[in-house]
Amino acid sequence: MEKILNDGDDDDDDDDDDDDKDDDDDDDDDDDDDDDDDDDDEDDDDDDDDIHTHTYHKICKNEENYIYDLKPFLLKETVGNKTEFVGLCVEILIEMSRNLNFQYELIETKDSTFGSENKTTHTWSGLIGMAARDVRLTHM
């Protein structure tokens, strides 16, 4: 079976093939041993087909409908009177909550920002501000 993806160790494999050729030139009397080596090589090829021995790389674009019919990362959709969050991050969160048995609530910040610091009051806006205020309330 031909390897479609590899873990980047092709250079090492080529060096091993060159060493085998050099060994064949030096020892013609070891033909029986070479047959045994071929059997071992076939077993090694079977190990190479194992999904756990390779690092697979997939490059994707963050674009709607590219791989799945999911919106990129996190978007807010309103259908009728119901507003919900959709996207890859939400799908991952749903699966994690099912598998790890926890509940969650998605809360949007009022200004829809990550946050910025007010230099005079030393307070934060946005997501960072919400988290900081929540920590202060729970640790009082």
* Burial of 121 (C-beta count, 10 Å sphere; 0-12/13-18/19+): exposed
pLDDT given at position 81: 87
Beta strands in 87-126 (DSSP E): 117-118, 123-124
pLDDT given at position 13: 47
pLDDT given at position 121: 92
| Cα atoms in the 13 Å half-sphere on the side-chain side of 133 | 10
DSSP secondary structure code for residue 131 in this structure? H
The closest alpha carbon to 85, from 75, 95, 94, belongs to: 75
How far is Cα 133 from Cα 127, in angstroms, rounded to an integer?
10
**Tens-of-pLDDT digits for all 140 residues of the chain?**
444 444 444 444 444 444 544 555 555 555 555 555 455 444 555 555 665 665 655 555 555 554 444 455 667 778 888 878 888 888 888 999 999 999 988 877 777 777 888 899 988 888 888 888 887 666 65
pLDDT given at position 84: 82
pLDDT given at position 139: 66
pLDDT given at position 106: 81
pLDDT given at position 50: 60
How far is Cα 123 from Cα 125, in angstroms, rounded to an integer?
7
pLDDT given at position 3: 40
